[in-house]
Amino acid sequence: MPTSTDRPQKSPATLVTAALAAAVLSTVAVAPAAALTVEQAYEEMAHRHAGLDPASAGFTREEAAFLSRLFELVDLAIVEKAQAWTWFQSEGRKGKSLSEYRVRVDALIARLDSLRAPERLRSVQRLLVEAIRDQRAFFETWTQALEVRARGQDNQDVHRSRGIHLKDSSRKLHQVYGQLMDLFPNAGQQNFDAFYDHLCVLDLL
């Protein structure tokens, strides 16, 4: 792509791409259609949605209460991620805009971060919060890449940054899954499935 110091005449294809990027960016403040439900978000991923069984003998009462609330918030984070992804993929025609995602996911992060985690689940809580923050950064840098490209400049550095955020989020979600499986070996298959389903569907990779 041309840089800011070397700008040959733009081809029709480049102009069309820039116009599409500008169109997406111009819809940031526009709220498209109705919000997705949790079940619809899982259906869009063609993925099972196993629920947590808090009555399992593998949890203490405190752990069961915390995990139940944690996975309720993970489900909401999945909805927000799915709607933001759809918005970018559809060039602003579907889903929810970045500005809406930003407000809603920041509120979710605050709720996740404020949960009173049992001692041995604090690392799980921290990693989940960090993973969702990385996803937020991924969508922010996607917007930056569109802005740079709309100006006719090289956006490869921004795209590389976007990829780093994507991989960091995925790595942390894998760590959460590993920790939960290590911490609760007697939680039962229902809960093993719940751990996997929630974290897999939240992951962008």
DSSP 66-102: HHHHHHHHHHHHHHHHHHHHHHHHTTTSSS--HHHHH
- pLDDT of 159 reads 65
Q: Residues 16-36: what's their mean pLDDT?
A: 46
Residue 181: CB partners within 8 Å, gap ≥ 6? Answer: 192, 195
The tokens describing 79, both together, are: 């909805």
Question: How far apart, in whole angstroms, are the C-alpha atoms of residue 87 and residue 134?
Answer: 18
Of residues 180 and 152, more confidence is placed in 180
pLDDT tens-digit map of 117-175:
999 999 999 999 999 999 999 988 887 767 777 777 776 776 677 788 999 999 999 99
- DSSP-derived letter for residue 34 is P
Rg (CA), the chain: 20
Q: Which of 16-25, 44-53, 120-129, 185-194 has the lowest mean pLDDT?
A: 16-25
Pick from 107, 179, 103, 167: which is nearest to 135 by CA? 167
Q: Is 144 exposed, middle or buried (CB count within 10 Å of its CB: 0-12, 13-18, 19+)?
A: middle
Q: Is 131 exposed, middle or buried (CB count within 10 Å of its CB: 0-12, 13-18, 19+)?
A: buried
Strand partners, 6: 3
pLDDT tens-digit map of 67-124:
999 999 999 999 999 999 998 888 788 888 888 999 999 999 999 999 999 999 999 9
Record the pTM. 0.78
